[in-house]
Chains A and B, each alone.
Chain A
Amino acid sequence: MTDDYNFEGLPLASLRPGTTVLVAGPSHAGTRHLAFRMLSGPPTEGAILVSTNQRAGRIADDWARSGFELDKERAAILDCVGDDDQNVPAQVLPVSGPSDLTGIGMRYSDVYRTFRQSGVERVRTGLFSVSTLLSFGDLKTVSRFVHTLVGRIDAVDGIGVFCIDPGMHDEQTVSTITQFCSARIDVRETESGQELRARGIPDQPREWMNFDVETE
């Protein structure tokens, strides 16, 4: 067994290896910021981010602004948008587009393998976002993809952080995607700032909790 994954600076309990969390909230800065922070582990851990609708360079900038030091040795971005971005401080892997779920899954497995070969065993996986996949593919196909990726993350004792904007989909769609994940965090914006509420995370309070959004 490997140790739990921790989230420094966030009001979140640690996660058992193999857990995938659905982060559900409007696609404004708060939800993405939370997801970026959850992906950003200590230097011994790697991170693989699947970007469905933003170029690698852009998402690398946003990720860095959330306080993460990107590094080719331990950060990879699967870019479904396709422009060749130079000078991104991460491995950038091309995928033909957000409807090529087979390609995304295979690229993911391949990058994970190269991480492990270079000694990075603990990997956090981000999927930004399930909503884009749903706008390019049907629910059944996206379901199979999400289920397979959740299974792969569990098999290698990683953690997954998948984003969805519930306002873009039917309730049944969001509930189906939620059922593949072991936990869910809802995000909302209030007058006093960003709040999160978790379900399915042991030792985590069930109330809305404030979290800070700092950008550097």
Chain B
Amino acid sequence: MILCADPETPARERTTGALSDAGFDVVEAGSLAEAYEALDEHPVECVVTEYTLPDGTGLELVDAVRERHPDAACMLFTATPLDDIDTDAFGSLVAEYVHKDDDHDELVGIVEHALAFRSQTAYPLPANESARVNALEQYAADPTELGASLDRLTELATALFGVNAAAIGIIDAHTEEFLSCHGVSFDPMDREDTVCTYAILDDRVTVVEDVADDPRFADNEGLAAANIRFYASAPLITPDGEAIGTFCIYNDEPRTFASRDRELLSLLGDEDGTTVAASSHPRRGR
């Protein structure tokens, strides 16, 4: 869903028309207030906004979007010269700028590219990201069916490694959801806030001996709130080779992880991947 914010109705309709013709679903807003409403109601993946809105600016809107849908592609589409746009106070937002005139081809091209390549995420994507997300839909297993067998695995892992907690997470396009947690409880998290987002870039076991000492996670409030200092995970790989999630263990103290531990965690990841895949096959066959 693309959110198009522009106070001038004819201009907004032309922009919306061009985006709809390119095959996108668009929701319109004439003000910041209307745009905020749309953000609450729709899974917005892209925002195309004028700079001057009756009750604020397009950069204020981008700020709100980054809070709610951090991966969204944001573009200012405006004829306002850059000299008149105060970006300094919004320096960390990052957004595209497309000069507004009667031609919408440039805008449509940039929107298409940004959505296809997800180029405004704050984290690197696996090289095969779209195949990975497609695989995920295929293996979307029934969590209640799986729950018991996965819970046994996370409980075993906690005891085996002598850590506080273990969890099995599935990483979709924008969030990580947990199929099983032992010793910890996680709600779905934005992908940019999880360690697993980085772990699936590697097909081997990932170990972060101390998250507070890693520049990627040192400022992460979620990890601090859950009292997590040590992280290790093995990727869950589908039979087709796509990493759809992780088997992870956590501890409240930093620690090291021996090579035998890595082997064992890797086995658990394989076991878990097999369980998830096996439980999904009947659904696929139907």
Which A residues are closer than 8 A to B by beta carbons? 96-97, 99-103, 105-107, 109-110, 113, 137-141, 143-145, 147-148, 150-152, 154-155, 169-170, 172-173, 176, 179-180
**A96 contacts B215, C-beta separation under 8 Å:** no
Let me know if B97 and A97 touch, CB within 8 A: no
Contacts of B117 in A (CB 8 A): 151, 154
Q: Is B201 a contact partner of A179 (Cβ separation < 8 A)?
A: yes
Take A106-B85, A148-B119 as given contacts and tell me if A172 and B97 are in contact as well, using a CB distance cutoff of 8 Å.
Answer: no
Chain A residue, CB-CB nearest to B217? A172
Q: Is the CB of A102 within 8 A of B87?
A: yes
Contact of A106 among B95, B120, B123 (CB under 8 A): B95
A-B contacts at CB below 8 angstroms, number: 107
In whole angstroms, how far apart are the Cα atoms of A170 and B210 in the complex?
14
Partner of A151 from the list B76, B93, B97, B120 (CB cut-off 8 Å) is: B120
Given the interface pairs A101-B94, A147-B124, A151-B117, the reply to whether A106 lies near B76 with Cβ below 8 Å is yes
Q: List 24 A-B contacts (CB under 8 A).
A: A97-B88, A99-B92, A101-B91, A102-B59, A102-B90, A102-B95, A103-B91, A106-B87, A110-B82, A137-B91, A138-B219, A141-B122, A143-B124, A144-B94, A144-B120, A144-B122, A145-B94, A148-B119, A152-B96, A154-B117, A155-B109, A155-B113, A169-B215, A172-B214
Instruction: Tell me the interface secondary structure of chain A in the complex.
Output: helix
Q: How far is the CB of B75 from chain A (nearest CB, A)?
A: 9
Closest to B112 in A: A155
**A102, B121: Cβ atoms closer than 8 Å:** no
Q: Which of A100, A148, A155 contacts B120 (CB 8 A)?
A: A148
> Nearest Cβ in chain B — how far from A19, in angstroms?
14
Q: Name the 5 nearest CB pairs between A and B, nearest first.
A: A151-B119, A179-B124, A103-B87, A106-B97, A100-B91
**Inter-chain contact A148/B87, CB cutoff 8 Å:** no
> When chains A and B are docked, how far (Å) is the Cα of A2 from the Cα of B26?
32
Q: How far is the CB of B38 from chain A (nearest CB, A)?
A: 22
Chain B residues positioned under 8 Å from A110 (CB to CB): 82, 97, 99
Contact yes or no, B91 A147, CB < 8 A: no
Say whether A105 contacts B98, CB under 8 Å: no
Q: Looking at the complex, which one of A102, A107, A180 makes contact with B91 (CB distance below 8 Å)?
A: A102
Q: B192 within 8 Å of A by Cβ?
A: yes
Nearest chain A CB to B85 CB, angstrom units: 7
Per the bound structure, the CA–CA distance linking A143 and B216 in Å amounts to 10
Contacts of A176 in B (CB 8 A): 123-124, 198, 216
Q: Which of B106, B122, B215 contacts A147 (CB 8 A)?
A: B122
Indicate with 1 or 0, residue by residue over B10-46, a CB within 8 angstroms of chain A CB atoms. 0000000000000000000000000000000000000
Report the nearest A residue to B70, measured CB to CB: A144
Alpha-carbon gap, A102 to B63, bound state (A): 11
Within 8 Å of chain A (Cβ to Cβ): is B140? no
Indicate if B163 sits at the interface (CB-CB under 8 A): no
How many whole Å from A60's CB to the nearest CB in chain B?
Answer: 21
Instruction: Tell me which residues across on chain B come within 8 A of A140, comparing CB atoms.
Output: 122-123, 192, 219
